[in-house]
Structure 1
Amino acid sequence: MKFRRSAAAALGTGATATATLLAVIGGSVPATAATPSPSASAALPDGLYGTGDPTYDGVWRQSLALLAQRTVGVWPARESVAWLAGQQCTDGSFAAFRADPAKVCDARTMVDTNSTGAAVQALAEIGGHEARVKKSVAWLKSIQNADGGWGYSPGGATDANSTSVVIGALAQAGETVPDVRRNGRSPFDALAKLALPCTGEDAGAFAFQPDTKGALVANADATAAAVLGMNGETLAVTRQGDAGSAPACDKVPADEPEQAGDNGAAWLARALAEDGHLTSALPGAEDQPDYGNTADAVVALSSAHLDDQAAVPLRWLEAHSADWAAQAGPAAYAQLVFAANAARDGDVHDFGGRDLVALLNATGPAPESTDETGTAGQSTDEDREDEKDKKDDGGGLSTVWAVGAGLLVGAIAGFVLIGRGRKRQRP
């Protein structure tokens, strides 16, 4: 089954042409990029990963990079964590990028759920910044739609990708996802409404959103996201072990969201069976491989215990993704790290002869440490409060810690550690 993913389906209506090109070709921005934030300055901020314009994906790519580093035992540079934390608005939300973090967020600041959800996952994983994570979670809860889900922008129509990113953020922050409800409806209820029935060739797939006529059209990007969402997982998951053949699509009971996730995974397995990769198409252009969505599909299949089905696309990525990742940058390397770490036969240090960890690290500041057992000098909210108390009491901070405390006014946390297991949440 060859899957054609159009730019409109990938990004939803209202996205700019530039964001569309970045998402479909580069694979480095969320599935629903909105109108751009204020343009970035010519000089990139200290601590930011990648060399491309961060206007559309600064927070997203930073969050994925930090999560991927923690997944493989790397403690990121403190300035890279500080940059991400410093992007947070006072109400807890995040925009795709704020060129001047010192400027207070206002009604013109285009905050979104994808950037906020990704940042929560990253900051919570790194740890030590519960206050900031709690504030972001409160903001996400405050804008939950009446159907239980989330759109890209506050108040926007629910879509599968945004809802799934937020589910991962809630789970990583310690929330009981089925209990996060609006009008009695949970995030799982919202995703269930976007699942195609168990009939026809697209049985079990998920739509991004209903189309203009209310019909559900299968979307690989949305399906990969929804598989994780229905299982209460973040963008990074643990190796689950192989369950053998892909299950047949089965009717989803209201109290078993995991069955809907299994249905979506079975559809992905069929979609990948022909070519070993997913395919995207831009209007007027020839079909081309969709590297980012293929990597996301590997993670989704592995999360559903379908390692045998994930093996072929994993091998395809090993053989063909080098140029794409080098061009797309840190988020692309992070997606490959997620895929290699989640799949049974993946190796992040030998991915088609490449060391994904070294390549990812090279896109940002040198890591503090590669020792997973230590904190590598990372500061936390509590650390800075203690240092402030000492200063108030007459104790002097060293120059290093004074600078570090000033930089880290934003906090640290992180995306889900792929190598760390987490039980699925059921309603």
Structure 2
Amino acid sequence: MAPTASLAQQAPAPHSGAPLARRAATALAAALVLGAAAAPAAYAAVPGSPSAAAKKLPDGLYGTKDPQYDGVWRQSLALLAQHTVGVRPAASGVRWLVGQQCADGAFTAFRAEPGKPCAAKAMRDTNQTAAAVQALAALGGHGDAVDKAVGWLKSVQNDDGSWSSMPGSPGDANSTSVVIGALSAAGQKPASVTSKKHKTPYDGLLTFRLGCAGTEDAHGAFTFQLKGAAPNADATAAAATGMLGKGFVVAPAGRGAHTPVTPPACKDGKDEKAGPVSAAQAADGGAAYLVAQLDKSGRHLLSAMPGAEPQPDVGNTADAVVALAAGGHGAEARRPLAWLQKNAADWARQGGPAAYAQLVLAAHATGSDPRSFGGTDLVTALNATGPEPAAVSGKHKDADASAKDDGGGIPWWIIGVGLAFGAGLGFLLSGRKRDRL
């Protein structure tokens, strides 16, 4: 689940756990390979500007790393995950998020001086804005902020019905999906939100569906963007959730009820079904693609840095769990969840609040206990990354102080990715967006 960018947009967009977190990281990876000019403006550091990490972090902010690229994203996911499992967040954490909103309703990744108006050139971000909407709508009591944010999101919808992370750019599947989730969370009907060309968000999202194109094992997949279209598991997970009108939080998939995964019916590289593909059919085809990829890799998804061997991708696997649960595919969702329970603890410790939140939401989607997740109490660990919660349902408010440590034992694949980024890139955002290259 993380936010998107532009070329390196084959980087991240918050959506899905996605991410911004990982998307920003992927964007930076693209910059390393293609040159600094390839880095999306949304994540480019301003020359000479002091890093927020060099200053005292704001009161109420979750995490200890520089929030320049993912502050609103990680805050939103943390607050949303806490609310979902019965934790009432600290008022200071909610105030911080609300205070990040610009007068026009949009959110940027981070405003160091929220008391000052957002500059006209400030990089407003649909992913950060949509994540904030989902969190504030769930918490309640922030109707004006939610309405303004939704109004801004509608104002930057592309003609084809899609959204990009940065308004004015070609749309992408992840950004479109996270906005759909925000619209639903705010009580809107996504199908009634139309562009100037009378296209809905679902129309926009369907443009990224590859369907029956390509090889058989790619049938049902979505691409991140139309330029350089290729099957993308992260984009498919986001789209499979978005096509169902759902966001980061999905109702638990019951263990009794089970909807079989149905791949698209294909013939000669085209959908066998006559007429347009429905949103539900597109979501189910995406789920079938995810299941095939998970089975192929050993119940987890893979990502690869440019020039590197494919590595296990914890964040995208968590997104796939939510996507499968959203479609009612409970049995298929619990298989990658079991892999996460065995392998995700160190990744979350390194990733911080957005990563913990992503795992909490994956556990919730499958009806699993996030307080007993492969030996880790995800709720306590998440609580420890921010201000002390106002109330914790059924638990003591004392959080495990050791969970505040973003370091710890790091799996070999994370070490490899970290080396690729270099010591200066200390923000592995949530985990969702972003291994798009």
TM-score, normalised to structure 2's length?
A: 0.77
Other structure's SS at 1:201 match: helix
1:356 maps to which residue?
Answer: 378
Spell out, residue by residue over 1:39-67, the C-alpha distance to the aligned partner (whole angstroms, 9 max, x if none).
31521111000011111100000000000
Other structure's SS at 2:61 match: coil
Other structure's SS at 2:21 match: coil
Does structure 1 conserve the Cα–Cα contact (< 8 Å) formed by 2:20 and 2:127? Answer: no
Correspondence for 1:198 among 188, 212, 234: 212
Spell out, residue by residue over 1:165-220, the C-alpha distance to the aligned partner (whole angstroms, 9 max, x if none).
111111111111101001110000011111012353211110000124xxx31101
2:362 maps to which residue?
Answer: 339
Matched, 1:249 2:264: yes
Matched, 1:184 2:198: yes
- Which letter does structure 2 place at the counterpart of 1:249? P
- Which letter does structure 2 place at the counterpart of 1:163? T
Judged with a 3 Å threshold, the aligned counterparts in structure 2 of structure 1 residues 201 and 14 are, in CA distance, closer, same or farther, namely closer
Correspondence for 1:281 among 287, 304, 311: 304
Once the 2 structures are TM-superposed, how far is the Cα of residue 287 of structure 1 from its aligned partner? 2.3
Give the Cα separation in 2 of the matches to 1:14 and 1:301: 27
1:167-182 alignment, distance < 5 Å? 167-182=180-195
Give the Cα separation in 2 of the matches to 1:59 and 1:10: 14
Does structure 2 conserve the Cα–Cα contact (< 8 Å) formed by 1:204 and 1:260? Answer: yes
Matched, 1:60 2:60: no
1:80-95 alignment, distance < 5 Å? 80-95=93-108
Matched, 1:297 2:352: no
- Which letter does structure 2 place at the counterpart of 1:210? L
Matched, 1:209 2:225: yes
Give the Cα separation in 2 of the matches to 1:153 and 1:134: 20
Correspondence for 1:114 among 120, 127, 132: 127
Matched, 1:13 2:7: yes
Does structure 2 conserve the Cα–Cα contact (< 8 Å) formed by 1:31 and 1:221? Answer: no
Spell out, residue by residue over 1:82-113, the C-alpha distance to the aligned partner (whole angstroms, 9 max, x if none).
00000000000000111111121122211110
- Which letter does structure 2 place at the counterpart of 1:351? F
Give the Cα separation in 1 of the matches to 2:99 and 2:117: 11
1:35 maps to which residue?
Answer: 43
Give the Cα separation in 2 of the matches to 1:14 and 1:354: 34
Give the Cα separation in 2 of the matches to 1:323 and 1:66: 21
Identity %: 52
Other structure's SS at 1:111 match: coil
Other structure's SS at 2:117 match: coil
Judged with a 3 Å threshold, the aligned counterparts in structure 2 of structure 1 residues 307 and 299 are, in CA distance, closer, same or farther, namely same
Matched, 1:312 2:325: no
Deviates more, 1:30-39 or 1:112-121: 30-39
1:235-246 alignment, distance < 5 Å? 235-241=248-254, 242-246=257-261
C-alpha RMSD of matched pairs (Å)? 2.4
2:391 maps to which residue?
Answer: 369
Deviates more, 1:346-355 or 1:255-264: 255-264
- The list of structure 1 runs, each at least 4 consecutive aligned residues, that deviate by more than 6 angstroms after superposition, is none
Give the Cα separation in 1 of the matches to 2:150 and 2:81: 22
Other structure's SS at 2:218 match: coil
- Which letter does structure 1 place at the counterpart of 2:203? D
Give the Cα separation in 1 of the matches to 2:80 and 2:333: 22
Give the Cα separation in 1 of the matches to 2:246 and 2:311: 29
Once the 2 structures are TM-superposed, how far is the Cα of residue 349 of structure 1 from its aligned partner? 1.1
Other structure's SS at 1:289 match: strand
Does structure 2 conserve the Cα–Cα contact (< 8 Å) formed by 1:27 and 1:328? Answer: no
Other structure's SS at 1:269 match: helix
Matched, 1:266 2:288: yes
2:399 maps to which residue?
Answer: none
Larger Rg: 1
- Which letter does structure 1 place at the counterpart of 2:384? A
- Which letter does structure 2 place at the counterpart of 1:31? R
Correspondence for 2:169 among 156, 170, 191: 156
Correspondence for 2:349 among 317, 321, 326: 326
Other structure's SS at 1:178 match: helix
Other structure's SS at 1:279 match: strand
Judged with a 3 Å threshold, the aligned counterparts in structure 2 of structure 1 residues 89 and 30 are, in CA distance, closer, same or farther, namely farther
Once the 2 structures are TM-superposed, how far is the Cα of residue 35 of structure 1 from its aligned partner? 2.5
Give the Cα separation in 2 of the matches to 1:86 and 1:92: 11
Once the 2 structures are TM-superposed, how far is the Cα of residue 343 of structure 1 from its aligned partner? 1.1
Give the Cα separation in 2 of the matches to 1:271 and 1:255: 22
TM-score, normalised to structure 1's length?
A: 0.79
Other structure's SS at 1:59 match: helix
Other structure's SS at 2:87 match: coil
Once the 2 structures are TM-superposed, how far is the Cα of residue 15 of structure 1 from its aligned partner? 6.0
Give the Cα separation in 1 of the matches to 2:96 and 2:276: 41
Deviates more, 1:85-94 or 1:168-177: 168-177
- Which letter does structure 1 place at the counterpart of 2:64? T
Give the Cα separation in 2 of the matches to 1:369 and 1:35: 35
- Which letter does structure 2 place at the counterpart of 1:239? P
Does structure 2 conserve the Cα–Cα contact (< 8 Å) formed by 1:31 and 1:161? Answer: no
Once the 2 structures are TM-superposed, how far is the Cα of residue 371 of structure 1 from its aligned partner? 4.0
Give the Cα separation in 2 of the matches to 1:305 and 1:181: 28
2:428 maps to which residue?
Answer: none
2:144 maps to which residue?
Answer: 131
